[in-house]
């Protein structure tokens, strides 16, 4: 879904897979432990170490900004990731300039020079009606910094946000394909 341009940190976080170095340390600690409570304590410590790691790395800053809390994300009770959500959460989506299909980095939908996930999903005026409907459904409009907290809060919020992201990204992809 994300190929090679997504950082290791973002890929492990989005997939809820403990980074290999932390997983190896955890395995070493629990090898001879039979008590479930002690194993749970070690897992909590691993998750805290993962949070510390995410807080300090220079890669995946956008993903970290959106997800923020490792524990809440990896133990989510609902919601499936798809291609479009991953593109938003990893700040991918504009390859037209990168692969020299266009001469400019402008956002294809509105010609704004700031073509990134924050503009595309949260700021672009082209999506005002859709954003209004999303915010009404959520009962708030303080995104992006709380978007994943809202997605994780309940299934309805996940679906509203997911549907909005999919609509925006599908429209963008369709417009980009017209240029190719």
Task: Say how far residue 67 (Cα) sits from the centre of its chain.
Answer: 6
Q: Is 120 exposed, middle or buried (0-12, 13-18, 19+ CB in 10 A)?
A: buried
DSSP 31: T
Q: Quick one: pLDDT at residue 164? A: 95
Q: How many CA atoms lie within 13 A of 82 on its CB side?
A: 14
Q: Quick one: pLDDT at residue 5? A: 75
Q: Quick one: pLDDT at residue 48? A: 97
DSSP 115: -
Tell me how far apart the alpha carbons of residues 48 and 43 are, in angstroms, rounded to a whole number. 9
Q: How many CA atoms lie within 13 A of 129 on its CB side?
A: 2
Tell me how far apart the alpha carbons of residues 158 and 80 are, in angstroms, rounded to a whole number. 9
Contacts of 47 (CB under 8 A, 6+ apart): 18, 70, 71, 74
**Alpha-carbon distance values, 49 to 25, 61, 169 (Å):** 11, 17, 33
**Alpha-carbon distance values, 55 to 50, 70, 87, 88 (Å):** 9, 10, 21, 20
Domain range summary for the chain, segments of one domain joined by +: 1-61, 76-180
Q: Quick one: pLDDT at residue 34? A: 92
Positions of the chain with pLDDT lower than 70, given as ranges: 1-4, 93-107, 179-180
**91 in helix, strand or coil?**
coil
Q: Quick one: pLDDT at residue 93? A: 62
DSSP 1: -
Q: Quick one: pLDDT at residue 116? A: 80
């Amino acid at each position: 879904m994300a190929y090679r341009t997504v950082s290791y940190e973002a890929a492990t976080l989005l997939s809820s897979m403990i980074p290999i170095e932390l997983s190896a340390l955890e395995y070493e600690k629990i090898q001879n432990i039979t008590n479930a409570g002690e194993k749970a304590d070690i897992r909590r410590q691993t998750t805290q170490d993962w949070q510390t790691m995410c807080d300090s790395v220079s890669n995946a800053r956008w993903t970290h900004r959106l997800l923020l809390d490792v524990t809440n994300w990896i133990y989510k009770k609902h919601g499936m990731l798809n291609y479009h959500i991953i593109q938003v959460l990893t700040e991918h989506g504009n390859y037209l300039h990168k692969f020299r299909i266009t001469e400019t980095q402008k956002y294809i939908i509105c010609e704004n020079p700031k073509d990134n996930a924050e503009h595309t999903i949260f700021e672009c005026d082209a999506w005002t009606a859709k954003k209004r409907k999303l915010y009404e459904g959520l009962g708030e409009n303080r995104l992006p910094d709380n978007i994943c907290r809202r997605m994780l809060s309940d299934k309805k919020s996940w679906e509203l946000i997911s549907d909005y992201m999919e609509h925006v990204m599908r429209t963008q992809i369709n417009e980009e394909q017209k240029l190719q």
